[in-house]
């Protein structure tokens, strides 16, 4: 059972204790923010579908506006679903009860600390593995729009465009969720649980995170896992880059101050305190920043060359997804998938 290796209740409790409160606003203003986000999410859904030419099957995914504690609870639910295969593998080498009792508490605290950090950063997310809902984290959205000094209505619409693009990807592309699950399963299958091997990779990881571009996530992988991770990173670069490109393509029509928002937001993405930057690198969040930039450049290059309809061939099947090398060289993807040479790269 999952509870034998991870104390999920402790993870939630730790995260909630470590998470700072959001911006201090009165109840009436908070009600306006919630209503605004719900309304703009519905508007953004229509804009995204019109531009992407992707049309979700079935009923629209629910949109919920949450606070930081609710985001934590929801993500623990999603983590439990995703970690079940790994836990099942680990349980085949069941350690002694004392080791398990101590280990699951340590793991619970570690997960809780990571979630506390993330709970102040995430603006919204589509949750394909936990009920298929779209969550908007109201206190974080308000905090960022205050920090950046941008128009609140425009910034909220901009965020909604990004998250609704992710919703559209998963609900309009029938194979996407299953493909991602299979890649995660392959990653788990490649996990080396040998204690000496884990200890050596941990030592290597400690050395690696001293490097400016390193992350603990990458440094701890086995060679077999790195192959799967390359495919997962290419897929995530595609998804994140597509959402970023849609924000900017749709933005000028529905977000009057989109240029100002983008400029200020890019500065925020690369900033933060030294401790903040270290934690991001440790957790692999700098990989996500690279995914936005590299994936966005890939999507912009392909759309500029062959239009939205041509780009949408990327959703034809898992084999149409660009490789990590093709993300950096979109002309290689257009040659392989579309049979069209010479797609110029657009700078990230």
- 66: domain CATH number? 1.20.150.30
Q: How many CA atoms lie within 13 A of 317 on its CB side?
A: 2
Residues 296 and 229 in one domain: yes
Inter-residue contact 146 to 74 (CB < 8 Å): no
User: So what's the pLDDT on residue 267?
Assistant: 78
DSSP 322: P
User: So what's the pLDDT on residue 310?
Assistant: 96
Residues 156 and 223 in one domain: no
Residues 107 and 142 in one domain: yes
Which of the pair, 256 or 182, is modelled with greater confidence? 256
Average pLDDT over residues 218-237: 77
**Residue 169: strand, helix, or coil:** helix
Q: How many CA atoms lie within 13 A of 123 on its CB side?
A: 19
User: So what's the pLDDT on residue 86?
Assistant: 60
Q: Is the pLDDT of residue 335 over 50?
A: yes
Inter-residue contact 158 to 261 (CB < 8 Å): yes
Q: Which of 172, 188, 222 is the endpoint of a domain? A: 172
Q: Which of 155, 172, 189 is the endpoint of a domain? A: 172
User: So what's the pLDDT on residue 348?
Assistant: 54
CA distances 276 to 71, 199, 335, 344, 346, Å, are: 20, 26, 41, 35, 30
Q: Is the pLDDT of residue 272 over 80?
A: no
Residues 134 and 57 in one domain: yes
Q: CA–CA separation, 158 vs 152, rounded Å? A: 10
Q: Which ranges of the chain does DSSP label H, i.e. alpha helix?
A: 8-18, 27-52, 68-91, 97-119, 138-148, 152-172, 176-189, 195-208, 216-219, 223-254, 258-270, 274-283, 285-311, 324-328, 330-333
The answer to whether the Cα torsion of 31, 37, 40, 42 is positive or negative is negative
Q: How confident is the model at residue 197 (pLDDT cuts 50, 70, 90)?
A: low
Residues 139 and 203 in one domain: no
Among candidate residues 221, 194, 220, the one with its CA nearest the CA of residue 207:
220
Residues 126 and 252 in one domain: no
Domains in the chain: how many in total?
Answer: 2
Q: How confident is the model at residue 109 (pLDDT cuts 50, 70, 90)?
A: confident
Q: What is the pLDDT of residues 134-171, one digit of tens each?
A: 999 999 999 999 999 999 999 999 999 999 999 999 99
Q: Which of 148, 172, 196 is the endpoint of a domain? A: 172
Model confidence, pTM: 0.82
User: So what's the pLDDT on residue 210?
Assistant: 45
Whole-number average pLDDT of the chain = 81
Residues 168 and 247 in one domain: no
Task: Give phi and psi for 134, each to the nearest 5.
Answer: -105, 120
User: So what's the pLDDT on residue 274?
Assistant: 47
Residues of the chain with pLDDT > 70: what percent? Answer: 73
- How many other CB atoms are there within 10 angstroms of residue 67's CB atom? 17
Residues 137 and 186 in one domain: no
CA distances 47 to 153, 228, 238, 284, 289, Å, are: 16, 34, 20, 32, 25
Partners of residue 63 on adjacent β-strands = 134
Q: CA–CA separation, 270 vs 122, rounded Å? A: 15
Q: How confident is the model at residue 1 (pLDDT cuts 50, 70, 90)?
A: very low
Q: CA–CA separation, 216 vs 206, rounded Å? A: 7
Q: What is the pLDDT of residues 62-102, one digit of tens each?
A: 899 999 999 999 888 877 776 666 666 656 655 554 445 55
Domain of residue 16: give its range: 1-172
Q: Is the pLDDT of residue 125 over 80?
A: yes
Q: CA–CA separation, 104 vs 107, rounded Å? A: 5
Residues 328 and 180 in one domain: yes
Residues 64 and 50 in one domain: yes
Residues 153 and 277 in one domain: no
Residues 139 and 188 in one domain: no
């Amino acid at each position: 059972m999952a509870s034998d290796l991870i104390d999920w209740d402790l993870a939630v409790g730790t995260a909630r204790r470590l998470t700072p409160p959001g911006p201090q606003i009165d109840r009436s203003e908070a009600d306006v923010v919630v209503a605004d986000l719900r309304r703009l999410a519905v508007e953004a859904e229509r804009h995204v579908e019109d531009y992407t030419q992707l049309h979700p099957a079935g009923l629209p995914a629910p949109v919920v506006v949450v606070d930081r504690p609710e985001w934590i609870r929801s993500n623990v639910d999603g983590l439990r679903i995703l970690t079940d295969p790994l836990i099942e593998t680990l349980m085949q080498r069941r350690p002694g009860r004392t080791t398990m009792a101590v280990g699951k508490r340590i793991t619970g605290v570690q997960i809780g600390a990571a979630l506390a950090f993330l709970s102040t950063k995430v603006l919204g997310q589509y949750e394909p593995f936990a009920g298929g809902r779209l969550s908007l984290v109201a206190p974080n959205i308000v905090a960022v729009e205050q920090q950046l000094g941008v128009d609140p209505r425009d910034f909220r619409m901009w965020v909604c465009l990004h998250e609704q693009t992710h919703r559209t990807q998963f609900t309009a592309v029938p194979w996407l969720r299953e493909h991602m699950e299979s890649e995660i399963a392959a990653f788990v299958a490649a996990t080396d649980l040998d204690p000496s091997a884990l200890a050596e990779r941990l030592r290597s990881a400690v050395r690696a995170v001293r490097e400016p571009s390193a992350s603990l996530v990458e440094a701890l992988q086995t060679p077999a896992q790195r192959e799967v991770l390359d495919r997962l990173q290419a897929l995530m670069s595609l998804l994140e880059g597509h959402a970023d490109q849609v924000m900017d393509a749709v933005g000028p029509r529905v977000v009057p101050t989109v240029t100002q928002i983008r400029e200020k937001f890019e500065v925020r993405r690369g900033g933060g305190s030294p401790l903040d930057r270290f934690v991001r690198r440790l957790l692999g969040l700098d990989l996500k920043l690279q995914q936005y930039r590299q994936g966005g450049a890939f999507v912009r290059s392909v759309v500029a060359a062959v239009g939205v309809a041509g780009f949408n061939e990327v959703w034809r099947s898992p084999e149409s997804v660009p490789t990590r090398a093709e993300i950096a060289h979109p002309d290689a993807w257009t040659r392989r998938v579309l049979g069209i040479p010479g797609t110029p790269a657009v700078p990230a």
